[in-house]
Amino acid sequence: MKNIWNSWLKEAVILFCAIYTVTTILNSILYLAQGIVHDPNGNWHELTRAAIVLIGVLAYELAMHLPISNTLLKAVVVYVITMPLVLLTVWLSGFADPLSPGAYTDITINYTGLFLLISLIAVITKKMNQKKH
């Protein structure tokens, strides 16, 4: 277990905590800036956010540790694994709170956009590191 903790789990836990904390604080700041004192989305929304962040961390860990050398293929595999989990999370959250009419479209655009942005950054970083060596 200590090997797993040191190899990837500790990094994943720290990453999850950092991303969840930053997104929650930013969300709170945005609400307060609009004069909204209480989160209208409630506690279920916080749990859904935690699940989505967890899936994002899973995507990162998969991208870092999958034994696939082709970067494009690795990105496709990670996306194919994680996107259904994101949609499942939204679907399950609909049992706690009604979903907005554009919930699936919104999460698909947001997750895919962020996934593509992070993938692009990873490819650029990898190319820059290869040029240095």
Domain range enclosing 18: 2-132
Q: Can you give the pTM of this predicted structure?
A: 0.80
pLDDT at 80: 96
Structural contact between residues 64 and 8, judged by C-beta atoms closer than 8 angstroms: yes
pLDDT at 46: 86
Q: What is the mean pLDDT of the chain?
A: 88
| Rounded percentage of the chain residues whose pLDDT exceeds 70 | 97
86 SS3 class: helix
Whole-angstrom distance, CA of residue 107 vs CA of residue 45: 13
Q: Give the pLDDT confidence of 90-114 residue by residue, as tens digits.
A: 999 999 888 889 999 999 999 999 8
Query: How many domains are contained in the chain?
Result: 1
pLDDT at 9: 82
Region of 99 (left: φ > 0; alpha: ψ -120 to 50; beta: rest) is beta
Place of tokens 């820059």: 128
Burial bucket for residue 124 (CB in 10 Å: 0-12, 13-18, 19+):
exposed
Q: Give the pLDDT confidence of 54-92 residue by residue, as tens digits.
A: 999 999 899 988 999 898 899 999 999 999 999 999 999
Range list of H helices, the chain: 2-4, 10-33, 42-65, 71-93, 103-132
Residue 8 has pLDDT above 90, yes or no: no
pLDDT at 4: 65
Candidates 81, 106, 80; CA nearest to 93 is 106
Burial bucket for residue 60 (CB in 10 Å: 0-12, 13-18, 19+):
buried
Q: Give the pLDDT confidence of 29-58 residue by residue, as tens digits.
A: 988 999 988 877 778 888 888 999 999 999
Residue 1 has pLDDT above 70, yes or no: no
